[in-house]
Amino acid sequence: MRMRPTRSLWQSFSLHATMVAALLAAMAYIAFIGIRGEYGVIRGAAAEAEEKELEAERARLEAERVALGARVRALSDDGLELDLLEERIRNVLGMAHPDDVLLPTAPAGRAP
């Protein structure tokens, strides 16, 4: 009867040490990815900060949209005030009506 050679103590220890080292390396990698990875803890905190910034921007844009909607309603046929529209057009174009009385003023940068 032939006996199988047994592993030496050193071979057995090196096999176990290699397996433990491989498992520790895998656990370290998983922990690193859990903290620093694309879906990790740090990225989650950055995503929450970005979400807050985007919510603030959305609120600002919503307020701007409401203000523009009010301006559009003011220019509609139902809400149009012709006197205010005429005054605004004259101001933008720098023109005056023939019946207007114009009072000269000093330029903004100089004293009278």
Rg of the chain over all Cα atoms, to the nearest angstrom: 39
Tokens 């903004």, residue? Answer: 108
pLDDT by residue (tens digit) across 53-111? Answer: 999 999 999 999 999 988 888 777 776 777 777 888 888 888 887 887 877 787 766 65
Provide the terminal-to-terminal Cα distance of the chain, rounded to the nearest Å: 125
Compute the distance between CA of residue 44 and CA of residue 54 in angstroms, rounded to an integer. Answer: 15
Tokens 């559009």, residue? Answer: 72
- What are the residue boundaries of the structural domains of the chain, listed by start? 19-93
Q: pTM of the predicted model, to two decimals?
A: 0.44
Query: Using N-to-C axis directions, what is the helix angle for 9-36 and 41-75, rounded to 10°?
Result: 20
